[in-house]
Amino acid sequence: MWSFFSRDPSKEFGYEILEQLTGTEEYMLWKLHKEKKKGSSEPVSVFILDAKTSGNDTQIVLAKAALKRFKILRHPNILTYIDSLETEKCLYLVTEYVEPLHFYLNSCATDYPKSKQQKELFIAWGLFQVLRALTFLNNDVNLQHNSICLGNILVNTAGEWKLGGFENATPSSQINSLPIKILPSFEKYDPPEKVDSSKLKFATKWFAANEMRKHVKMRERKSGWKLRGVAVLGNLFI
Structural domain count of the chain: 2
This prediction's pTM: 0.74
Residues 195 and 117 in one domain: yes
* CB-CB contact of 34 with 47 (8 Å): no
Which conformational region is residue 230 in: left (phi greater than 0), alpha (psi within -120 to 50 degrees), or beta? alpha
Q: Which residues contact 226 (CB under 8 A, 6 or more apart)?
A: 220
What pLDDT does residue 113 have? 63
Cα gap 3→194, rounded to integer Å: 53
Torsion 221-152-178-214 (CA) sign: positive
Is the same domain home to 88 and 112?
no
| pLDDT tens-place string over residues 88-131 | 888 999 999 999 998 888 887 766 666 777 878 888 899 999 99
138 and 75, same domain (yes or no): no
**97, 127, 151 — which closes off a domain?**
97
173 with 228, same domain: the answer is yes
For residues 87 and 203, membership in a common domain is answered with: no
Q: Are 112 and 210 in a shared domain? A: yes
pLDDT of residue 39: 77
**Is the pLDDT score of 204 beyond 60?**
no
Which strands sit side by side in the sheet containing 153-156, from one edge to the other? 98-100, 153-156, 161-163
105 and 201 in a common domain: yes
* R_g (Cα) of the chain, nearest Å: 19
Residue 102 and residue 154 in contact, taking contact as beta carbons nearer than 8 Å = no
How many other C-beta atoms are found inside a 10 Å radius of the C-beta of residue 206?
19
Same domain, 91 and 167: no
Strand spans (E) along the chain: 15-21, 31-37, 43-50, 81-86, 90-96, 98-100, 143-144, 153-156, 161-163, 170-171
HSE-CB for 130 with a 13 A CA cutoff = 27
- CATH code, 82: 3.30.200.20
Residues 125/70, Cβ–Cβ less than 8 Å: no
* pLDDT confidence tier of residue 221, bands split at 50, 70 and 90: low
Of residues 37 and 217, the one with the higher pLDDT is: 37
> Average pLDDT of 1-10?
51
Q: Which amino acid is at 237?
A: F
Domain match, 200 and 105 both: yes
Domain ranges, residue 168? 99-235
Q: Which of 71, 97, 123 is the last residue of a domain?
A: 97
- Coil, strand or helix at 34: strand
- Do residue 224 and residue 178 come from a single domain? yes
CA distance 104 to 13: 28
- Are 88 and 180 within one domain? no
In the structure, what pLDDT confidence band is assigned to residue 164 with cuts at 50, 70 and 90?
A: very high
AA letter at 90: C
User: How many whole angstroms separate alpha carbon 91 and alpha carbon 38?
Assistant: 19
Asked if residue 122 and residue 229 are part of one domain, the reply reads yes
| pLDDT average, residue stretch 227-231 | 41
15, 19, 24, 30: CA torsion to nearest 10: 30
Q: Convert the pLDDT of each residue in 128-160 to its tens digit.
A: 999 999 999 988 999 988 888 878 899 999 999
Q: Last residue of some domain: 97, 113, 146?
A: 97
Highest mean pLDDT pick, 69-83, 135-149, 211-225: 69-83
